[in-house]
Structure formats: structure tokens, C-alpha cells
Amino acid sequence: MTATDTRAALTAEQAGWFAETFERLVGNVSQAVLGKPHVVRLAFTCLLSGGHLLLEDYPGTGKTSLARALAATVQASHSRIQFTPDLLPSDVTGVTIFDQESHKFQFHKGPIFASVVLADEINRASPKTQSALLEVMEEGRVTVDGIPHDVGRPFIVLATQNPIEQAGTYRLPEAQLDRFLMRSSIGYPDSDATIAILAGSAIRDRSATLSPVITGSAVVDMSDLAASVYVDPAVLSYVTQIAEATRRAPEIALGVSVRGALALVRSSKTWAASQGRHYVIPDDVKTLAEPVLAHRLVLDAEAEFEGAQAGTSLTRILAEVAPPAQRASVTS
């Protein structure tokens, strides 16, 4: 597949500007989150694709720093919600209160009304409170007392959960996991990054030292540009075959839905633009397949007991499903 095959609204010049700006964003956040450029790229891909990110990682790996640095870089509002078992849905979305002076009910916005929202330890809240995020994550609005309230753009939820400590937690249901565009982890930094962090121990919050790179409205413009990236029908067929293969896999009880396939296409568009291309190639799909699809798979109970993992199954499926260029060379 070549650039001459495309008929995208996004021009090559716009793609070049997008890639340059994307690298500036990643470089800025990387000053606060050291040694993790790939995770930072995934976070910005989520943001510019209009999606949300689930970080499944250990405490103290920089999840909060990533959210703060992201907000500081795009000059956007930021909020943090510490999820606990006694947290109520209204503590997240907001509440309507009667104003005695005006004799009217007024809506007081909750912490979900921010551009970058850190939902810390999301699985510690009750399912009722978790479900309060479903509408806002999918539609970008909150409905309280029958009245919808838009959260605006840009908007991203960075949710975290500890993969080890599961006592007193509520497992996220499949419907809510499907609302997250990607799942990833930051992980511990390498030796060089750790030394650099320790050397700067006097700086308590590296994200506070960051200067904005672009405005929130510019992020919206970049999102619109990413949405106009061209996707060849052969690549769409490739994504479809991957999704169908997950549904046929014997170790997978629930495969990728149409929403999951759409998420892979949307994120692949943004990833292609971040590489300076105005068209998607199969390698974009391969790169994002695991962070976009793995958390959407439900393994068969017996296979999971025997050690099967979603990431391993996806790796096998990607090896079995030939990308468009390979299929073309075989048929020729």
C-alpha cells in the first residue's frame, strides 16, 4: 500500500504537522514520566482518538504523574477521583441542590467535569458508582435528574487499578471494560531512568514544572484531523478478520465486538497520523492490537485455569491472519 492509493481529506503536509506536534507533546510529558515514551504515546493516542485509558499497574509507578503531565501539556483542567467502597455516583457526576436565594435547583458539577480525569483505583468502588462513568465515557455527557450536561472536549478518563491487591475490590464488568479504548501499564523504569528520578528527588512534582505545548481547542482540532486519516478497505477487512478470529478461538469465550473493531480503526488512524502518514498501514493495526483488544477478550474458564492469556492469544491470531500485502503477494 502506498500514499498514491489514498484519497484522504488529511493532506501529507497536515500529517507532517500532526507528527511534529505529537512528538512535542510526547517529549514534554516524558520530562515528568521518565523512560516511558511508548506509554505516553498510547495515552496521547487515546486522547486524540476521543477514548479512555485503563492503567493496570502497581502503586508508585507514575500513574498520577502521567495524568497531571498530560493535563499540563495540553493546558487543560485536571481532576482526581479516589475511588473507595463508600463513594457515591453523585460524588463523581455532581448533584442538584436547591438554592434558597434564587428558589431554583442548581446543578453542582462533580470532578468528572474536567478534560483529564484520573479515576484512581476504580475497582474499589461499588458497581453502582462504576456505572456512573458509563454514560460520560461513551457519550461525553452526564444526565442528572433527567437533564444532560456535556463535559466538553477534550475529555479523557485515565483509570487505574492494582493487579495484585484484589481484596475488597469489585471486578470491572465487560461492558465497562469495553468503554476503555486501551489498557496498558507504565511499569517500573529502567536503571538509567531510575537514577535520573532519584537525582531529581528535590522535585516533588515534575508535572508542575511543565509548560503547555498546545491548548485544549488545538487538541480538538488534532482529533478532527486524525479522524480524517484514510483507511483502505483491505485494512478494514484485515481488522474484521482479526475480530472474527478472536470469536472462533477455542480458548476465548467472548471475542472482539464491533465496538472493539471500531476502536482499533480509530486508534490506528491517530497512530498513523502521529507517524506522519495520512493513511493507515497494517503495522499500525498490529502495534495497537494488544492494548486496544486484549482487555475486551473473555477467556474460557478452563483455558484461563490452564494459564491461557489474552495477549498470547492475540499474538497467535496476528501471526495466523495475513495482512493485506502478504495476501496480495500470495494471490499474485
- pLDDT score of 8: 46
- pLDDT score of 43: 94
Which three cell numbers mark 37?
A: 515514551
Q: In whole angstroms, what is the distance from residue 151 CA to residue 166 CA? A: 31
pLDDT band at 165 (very low <50, low <70, confident <90, very high): low
pLDDT digits (tens, 9 = 90+) for 72-111: 898 888 898 989 889 999 999 998 888 888 888 888 999 9
Please say whether the beta carbons of 110 and 94 come within 8 A: yes
Say how many residues make up the chain: 332
Q: What is the mean pLDDT of residues 203-217?
A: 86
Q: In whole angstroms, what is the distance from residue 226 CA to residue 273 CA? A: 6
CA-CA distances (angstroms) from residue 119 to 9, 53, 89, 122, 267? 36, 10, 13, 6, 22
Q: In whole angstroms, what is the distance from residue 137 CA to residue 8 CA? A: 28
Q: What is the mean pLDDT of residues 155-175?
A: 78
Residue type, 96: T
Stretch (H or E) spanning 244: helix 233-248
- pLDDT score of 167: 62
Please say whether the beta carbons of 250 and 300 come within 8 A: yes
- pLDDT score of 311: 84
Q: In whole angstroms, what is the distance from residue 311 CA to residue 247 CA? A: 15
> Model pTM?
0.87
Q: What is the mean pLDDT of residues 190-213?
A: 85
Q: Which residues contact 201 (CB under 8 A, 6 or more apart)?
A: none
Please say whether the beta carbons of 55 and 185 come within 8 A: yes
